[in-house]
Amino acid sequence: MLRTVDLRDVTSRYRTHLPRADFDVEQAVGVVRPICDDVARRGADALLDYSEQFDHVRPAHLRVPVAELERCAAGLEPDLASAFAESIRRRREVAEALETARDQPVAELAPGARVGLRSIPVDRVGLYVPGGLAPLASSVIMNVVPAQVAGVSSIAVASPPQQQFGGLPHPNILALCHMLGIDEVYAVGGAQAVAMFAHGVPDLCEPVSMVTGPGNIYVVAAKRYLRGIVGIDSEAGPTEIAIIADEDADAAFVAADLVSQAEHDPMAASVLVTDSEDLAARVVRELEEQVPVLKHAERIRTSLGGRQSAVVLVRDVEQAIDVANAYAAEHLEIQTRDAARVAEGIRNAGAIFVGAHSPVSLGDYSAGSTHVLPTAGCACHSSGLGVQSFLRHVHVIDYDAAALEELADGVEGFALAEDLPGHAAAIRVRRRA
């Protein structure tokens, strides 16, 4: 079910050997370009037509009535409502405690020469919540909570209309929006939802400053195509997990966690990095037992059997750390002896799950961390979605006349060296005042 990649004799350039899914966003841009342009031109009529074409339902309301949000929240099973509330509480607590940097520091460079830094929230954001193979209601929490903590004043949510729910998004998605106080919710999915947010639709949806949230390749392609008209969080590809495990790891735990990501999508990546051939064999046997009894067994088999998934054999745990840093997984689990020490060696990962009792599933829902994370190796340069994603950092320059005079000769000389005499004149005119 999982192929093997043996890196025990490899000493460098690990990325060229590691498994990855094919994810051609540029080709998908060609598909979504006419959709996005049509939404910009025809507005709500285009949204309705594409809902009928792609989602097989023509919603009675593109904007979900508030009464529907209330009805879905009231209809939640008590245990599920409690789980939703606890997930919201923990995500908000982490966001408020760890992700806020709003102290507006000021550097005093010389008497009268001050440069400050202000953190200003984005004015309006459009948050996308997938509703395809799995209606990811948890993404409502992961998008909305950090935006609220950042202080975003206007938040809209879009999720695909579902035929079985009369053209509304999944009830759990609507219930969570209500619990979070979000009443601007649209039954619009795919590239057309991103276009709606970017361009706005008269009498329906005002344009946003930023679009965030995961989606399929066409959502990603629309974000790429419309970037510049609107800000985006990232171009997220198929989900992925890497697990560093040694001979002491519980094979059943490792197998279950590989399966948990494979369940998302046939293109999802599940990678085990281990120095133990015995553990690898035990994990494969566990997969053979666990997968057939699961609801999405066929999807899981496709994912685990794809080129993006593998058992990667390494010489030792130190090489495993190097391989993990080269792979830069969206989710990285560490199931080894002294897992905390191993975690300290990780530089590149979207999120790190330390020890046998910190599975990715916990982070997907209620750990308090974000689950909107960089994929496809982008964790080497990008971060997950959090409070800072919704903040702009603006320098505030405040010099008095004496502080400017102290630097004036140097600034004028610098400007003339760049052949920009107008810049120099802007300094000189103040020296004559």
Helix (H) or strand (E) holding 187: strand 185-187
Could you tell me the sign of the dihedral formed by the alpha carbons of 45, 49, 55, 58, in that order? Answer: positive
In contact, 408 and 427? CB cutoff 8 Å:
yes
- The answer to whether 206 is a known catalytic residue is no
Question: Which residues, 6 or more positions from 316, have their beta carbon under 8 angstroms from its beta carbon?
Answer: 275
Distance CA 337, CA 346 (A): 15
Q: Which residue has the tokens 């690990």?
A: 14
Write down the catalytic residue from 68, 263, 330, 333. 330
Write down the catalytic residue from 170, 178, 264, 331. 331
- The answer to whether 331 is a known catalytic residue is yes
Q: How does DSSP assign 328-372, residue by residue?
A: T-SEEEEESTTHHHHHHT--S-SEEEESTT--HHHHHHTSSS---
Distance CA 183, CA 297 (A): 37
CB neighbours (10 Å) of residue 414? 14
351-354 β-sheet, strand order: 4-6, 310-313, 269-274, 240-245, 331-335, 351-354
Pair of tokens at residue 362:
């916990």
Question: Which residues, 6 or more positions from 258, have their beta carbon under 8 angstroms from its beta carbon?
Answer: 2, 241, 243, 270, 272, 283, 287, 304, 309
Helix (H) or strand (E) holding 89: helix 78-98
- Residues forming the active site: 330-331
